[in-house]
Amino acid sequence: MKSLATWLLSVVLFAVIGGASVWLFIQGGGSEHEEHDEHAASAAPSEPEPVVARDETGCVVVRMDRQTQDRLGLEVKSLEAALDQQTVAAYGSVMEDPSQSFTVRAPMAGTVVAEGHNGWPRLGQVLPAGRAVGGLAPQLGPIEHADLASKLAAARADEQQARASLDALRASLQSKRQLHAEGRIVSDQLLQEVEARVAGEEARLRAAQQTVRVLEAWATPTSRPSGTLPLTGGKGGRVAEILAQPGETVDAAQPLLRLTSFDRLLARVSLPAGQRIARIASVSLVVS
């Protein structure tokens, strides 16, 4: 009996120990599986955020992590306030200042003549102010001939009138001198007044005769004076254009030379159609 009880006690004890061992094994395996699942869940990569996206205003936003920024060499800095001026590229040309230009014109119709040892000015030659650049031999046209004939007729009429008045005054003076010599009533004052009037009419007759001679000389081609009218360069400058040559016949007010100065130049710039510039801060000139 005693050995049977001992054997039963041993069996029960081994059964309890085995059950406890099995229970502990099951509990340990479940916890390891849960830890493995948790570790696997934590190690599983999360869904990456999109690199390029748009914010609530619709603007494109590029997201980069710190490693990507360092690898690309990107630096983040605060923006500084600055004024951005509008840049407009326009094409143009450099031109002379019109206020520095001077045109030599013919004072009347005639023939251009080169005078002096320098001859007619050359293109690019610099002429000082007031220098004579040449001469003009006058040539009368139909209108000038008609005007000259009218003036000549008036001058001849003045000559005849002065001659007739002078003859009458001389006769009056002669009679008054005779009366004065005979002692009749002719005062010295009256005699002097008549002599003064005679002298005035003589001067008037000489002036009328001189005017008639000058007009007759111009009206007759064979006796016309051979002198020339000087052509001066005015304010002077560099010869930019030669519009006539010596020997050419020109009309009155016809341009002969154009002088200019390149000390100050102007730039003519053409902007694209419809474009405006409100304010120009700075200008850069590129010459090609």
pLDDT in tens, 75-113: 878 888 887 777 777 788 888 888 888 999 998 888 899
- Which fold does the domain 96-260 belong to in CATH? OB fold (Dihydrolipoamide Acetyltransferase, E2P) (2.40.50)
Question: Quick check: 235 and 71 in contact, CB under 8 A?
Answer: no
**201 phi, psi to nearest 5 deg:** -70, -35
State the pLDDT at residue 248. Answer: 93
List pLDDT tens digits, range 32-43: 555 555 554 454
**Across the strands, what pairs with 270?**
91
Q: pTM (2 decimals)?
A: 0.44
Answer whether residue 44 shows pLDDT above 50. Answer: no
Q: CA-to-CA distance for 120 and 254, rounded, in angstroms?
A: 17
Average pLDDT of the chain, as a whole number = 78
**Band of residue 281 on the pLDDT scale cut at 50, 70, 90:** low
Q: What's the mean pLDDT in 188-203?
A: 82
Q: What is the pLDDT of residues 237-271, one digit of tens each?
A: 999 999 999 999 998 899 999 999 888 888 888 87
pLDDT at 212 over 60: yes
Q: Measuring CA to CA, which residue among 2, 24, 23 is closest to residue 10? A: 2
What is the 3 state secondary structure string of 78-120?
A: CCCCCCCCCCCCCEEEEEECHHHCEEEECCCCEEEECCCCCCC
pLDDT of residue 214: 77
Residue 89 confidence (pLDDT)? 77
* pLDDT at residue 13, rounded to an integer: 65
Provide the pLDDT confidence category of residue 223 given band limits of 50, 70 and 90: very low
- Position 288 confidence tier, pLDDT thresholds 50, 70, 90: low
Say yes or no to pLDDT of 28 above 70: no
Q: State the sign of the Cα–Cα–Cα–Cα dihedral 175, 176, 181, 186.
A: positive
d(CA 217, CA 33): 141
Interval 173-190: pLDDT, tens: 888 787 777 776 767 777
Residue ranges of domains in the chain: 1-39, 96-260
- Model confidence band, residue 25 (pLDDT cutoffs 50, 70, 90): low
